[in-house]
Amino acid sequence: MNDSIFSPDKYANTRLPIDEAQPLPAAVYTSQEWYDKEMETIFFKEWLQVTRIEEIPNPGDYVRVDIAGEPLIVLRDNDATIRTLSASCRHRSSELVEGKGNCRRLVCPYHAWTYSLEGKLMGAPSMEDAKDFDMNDHNLPTFRTETWAGFVFINFDDNAKPLLECLGDLPERFKDYKMENMVVTKKWENRFNANWKIWVENSREGYHVRTVHRESLDTYYPGAKNSKFKAEGKPGVYAINSSDNENGLYIPRNKTLPFVDSISEDDQEHTHFMVFYPHLLMNVPPDRITFHQYFPEGPEWTRIITWCCFPKSTVALENFEEEVEDKYYPPMELFIKEDKGICEVVHRGIVGRYANPGRFSPTEEQTVYEFANYVLDHVIGPEESK
């Protein structure tokens, strides 16, 4: 057997049908070599969700985002087009801006090289004597940026298919929620000592709910029994796991805020947990969306920003602030804390040399299995590994 971590033989058991398959070997959660290849084959190839459009409503608004180790600026230019530029100055690579804000030009804080909002170098002091120096050769790299339902996505790969094509029938499935009319009302930021895949896998199953979310259940949903998810989707593209609201742990029992009135009766009774691979993880109850933006920072660390968005009409209600602070945010905070805790617990176990995967539950872990195979399809390649 080939000794390389990329040898397809090592993953043959994850490729089997789910009722025979094993989870991914522990090494793929800890190896730097594997992580680097994930960055190249997944994060530098796929559509990545970077912000919401309402974060940059006006010309000149920008946010700084670090993704896959790349410092980026997502901004709205003077024509109101959303663009993504490299945040590394073309002189000696200083970070151009930090945080978020509004500007007419990007002025480097180091030696004041100045760029337009389209990334064009407009000014470079004291460069008159530099031989054959042409400002046109030093524009900022720009990256493909497209939007869906208020989400802004970027892609480092110029050859990638357009975002809407990649989304398949997802926009149709969720169109009644009118997510483009929702606005961000709250964000939580956490840094986890765990590999990014552990976070994605944990989001894909209800198997852990009765144990990991015991405190949430007892506090907010006493009597909830059935945490099993119903799964639909397209392997390798997206997955939707759904639970009914009564047991879905997401709608406060004493709810006061309205549901989105354009959704179907069935959607009114369910909460959907959705992944559009690899990077949009979203919870969709009938009244809002919550999405978890994750940023891998090496094999052992992941930064997670959780965003909560409500419809504008709900945010305009007189009692909105009071209700969300009282009934909606506290359970979400407890959920995040419980999930963060368990991801770190899993990572502490997975680093051991005797860590060895068992088997998947075919009824509970269909989407975890699909995700494992999605990772293999990219890192190892679908052909060689079959």
What are the φ and ψ backbone dihedral angles of 252, each rounded to 5 degrees?
-55, 135
**Shortest Cβ 141–ligand FES spacing (Å):** 15
Range list of H helices, the chain:
12-15, 32-38, 163-167, 170-174, 196-202, 209-212, 214-220, 245-248, 265-268, 312-315, 320-323, 329-350, 366-379
Q: What is the Cα 2 distance to its own chain's centre?
A: 34
**Residue closer to Fe ion (CB basis): 34 or 335:** 335
User: Could you give the CA distance from residue 36 to residue 49 in angstroms, rounded to a whole number?
Assistant: 20
**Binding test (CB under 6 A) with ligand FES, winner from 29, 34, 47, 113:** 113
**Residue closer to Fe ion (CB basis): 339 or 370:** 339
The region of 86-94, 187-195, 258-266, 283-291 touching ligand FES under the rule CB under 6 A is 86-94
**Binding test (CB under 6 A) with ligand FES, winner from 26, 75, 82, 108:** 108
Binding partner selected for residue 89 from ligand FES, Fe ion, none, CB under the kind-specific 5 to 8 Å limit: ligand FES
**Binding test (CB under 6 A) with ligand FES, winner from 111, 138, 208, 337:** 111
CA angle 292, 274, 44 (to 5 degrees): 65
Whether 9 contacts 17, CB under 8 Å = no
**Shortest Cβ 96–ligand FES spacing (Å):** 7
By beta carbon distance, the residue nearest Fe ion is: 339
Q: In what order do the strands lie in the sheet containing 106-107?
A: 106-107, 114-115, 121-123
Does residue 92 belong to the site contacting ligand FES (CB under 6 A)? Answer: yes
Does residue 91 belong to the site contacting ligand FES (CB under 6 A)? Answer: yes
Binding partner selected for residue 339 from Fe ion, ligand FES, none, CB under the kind-specific 5 to 8 Å limit: Fe ion
Binding residue count for Fe ion, defined by CB under 5 A: 1
Does residue 201 belong to the site contacting Fe ion (CB under 5 A)? Answer: no
**Shortest Cβ 44–ligand FES spacing (Å):** 25
**Shortest Cβ 126–ligand FES spacing (Å):** 10
Binding partner selected for residue 92 from Fe ion, ligand FES, none, CB under the kind-specific 5 to 8 Å limit: ligand FES
- DSSP bridge partners of 309: 184, 289
DSSP letters spanning 37-97: HHIIIIITTS-EEEEEGGGS-STTEEEEEEETTEEEEEEE-TTS-EEEEE-B-TTT--B--
The region of 13-21, 84-92, 201-209, 231-239 touching ligand FES under the rule CB under 6 A is 84-92
What share of residues in the chain are helix, strand, coil (percent, to 5)? 30, 25, 40
The region of 111-119, 161-169, 246-254, 256-264 touching ligand FES under the rule CB under 6 A is 111-119
- Joined tokens for residue 328: 């909606």
**Shortest Cβ 297–Fe ion spacing (Å):** 21
Give 335's Cβ-side CA count (13 Å radius): 22
Give 35's Cβ-side CA count (13 Å radius): 20
DSSP letters spanning 156-176: S-TTSPPHHHHHTTHHHHHGG
**Binding test (CB under 6 A) with ligand FES, winner from 78, 94, 262, 363:** 94
Respond yes or no on whether the N-terminal peptide bond of residue 286 is cis (omega within 30° of 0). Answer: no
**Mask: binding to Fe ion, 339-378, rule CB under 5 A, as x and -?**
x---------------------------------------
Looking at residues 320 to 339 of the shown chain, list those that interact with Fe ion (rule: CB under 5 A). Answer: 339
**Residue closer to Fe ion (CB basis): 83 or 197:** 197
Distances (CA, A) of 179 to 57, 142, 222: 16, 27, 30
**Shortest Cβ 60–Fe ion spacing (Å):** 39
Residues that bind Fe ion (CB under 5 A): 339
Q: Which parts of this chain interact with ligand FES (CB under 6 A)?
A: 89, 91-92, 94, 108, 110-113
